[in-house]
Structure 1
């Protein structure tokens, strides 16, 4: 496929980005990173991504079981690929464009250190390319809810682990 045609299929439009609420987590970026990368325990705390497996190496697949918010009780199965790893700062994976799945997207999870040793967390999902507007229209509202739920659950999990470790 010519580069210009591929670029159109994966182009970025800020109108097609879902952004979660920003939560302040009273735990260190290292602890939040630990929770985010402990995929085996996602089912213990994550209300949206209830199962995930990956080696968490660049380019590695991330196999996920996601709660289907529009269809309660059902799970969606997905596979995306690690595209950025910045320990204690950013974890990202992407759904690559393919003729059989022309819905490219990129999910970024951000950890922003704060002066007091705590951090802020939020995530985004950019629905890419010429189909991004359609994905945003049909999935944007429930993805926003799922990401907000995840942000609050991550806060609760990390703060509980922090309290446990300092003996509160």
Structure 2
């Protein structure tokens, strides 16, 4: 469990940002035969997302804490559905370990959420990766029940694609 999740535990009663561990989507954990630095480089090379990421085909941000990240997502909720614009804000940035963004609670869209992408080094040339999406507040469990299954598919697909991209780049650089 991520540090922020541990700190939020016990605050389930907060109707806006309460954390419910039952309202979290988690990707498969993927073992990657490349250093965490290579995986980090792929995750932070936003202009190239369209070359490898099957879910987020466009991402624009400075990646500074609090900065917006403008994304274009493939709509996994419908088979072959249209793309969807998405705007979130950087809330976690720990090189080679964590890249996170969050959707705020808005009066007209009260569905706050936080996405964490986690890299764990397992050796000099290996690591593991997983991604979570925590749906927060009183509406979180309802969003999870609706969106959780297709978001998990999107995150799993992205994790597999990240593995392929990072391993190919590492192999090419270390021929």
Deviation, structure 1 residue 159: 0.3
1:118-129 residue pairs with structure 2 within 5 A? Answer: 118-129=126-137
Verify the 8 A CA contact 2:120 2:129 in the aligned structure 1: yes
Deviation, structure 1 residue 116: 4.5
Q: 2:157 aligns with which of 149, 154, 157?
A: 149
1:21-100 residue pairs with structure 2 within 5 A? Answer: 21-71=28-78, 72-100=80-108
Report the 3-state secondary structure (helix = DSSP H, G, I; strand = E; otherwise coil) of the residue aligned with 2:132: strand
2:25 aligns with 18
Verify the 8 A CA contact 2:104 2:112 in the aligned structure 1: yes
Instruction: State whether structure 2 residue 115 is matched by structure 1 residue 107.
Output: yes
Deviation, structure 1 residue 117: 2.9
Report the 3-state secondary structure (helix = DSSP H, G, I; strand = E; otherwise coil) of the residue aligned with 2:15: helix
Distance, in Å, in 2 between the alignment partners of 1:60 and 1:163 is 33
Report the 3-state secondary structure (helix = DSSP H, G, I; strand = E; otherwise coil) of the residue aligned with 1:135: helix
Report the 3-state secondary structure (helix = DSSP H, G, I; strand = E; otherwise coil) of the residue aligned with 1:7: coil
TM-score w.r.t. the length of structure 2 is: 0.90
Instruction: Say what the alpha-carbon RMSD is for the aligned residues.
Output: 1.3
Count of residues in correspondence between the two structures: 163
User: Any unmatched runs of 5+ in structure 1?
Assistant: none
Distance, in Å, in 2 between the alignment partners of 1:68 and 1:31 is 28
Verify the 8 A CA contact 2:67 2:90 in the aligned structure 1: yes
Deviation, structure 1 residue 137: 1.0
Distance, in Å, in 2 between the alignment partners of 1:164 and 1:55 is 27
Report the 3-state secondary structure (helix = DSSP H, G, I; strand = E; otherwise coil) of the residue aligned with 1:8: coil
Distance, in Å, in 2 between the alignment partners of 1:156 and 1:73 is 25
User: Any unmatched runs of 5+ in structure 2?
Assistant: 1-10
Moved over 6 A (4+): none
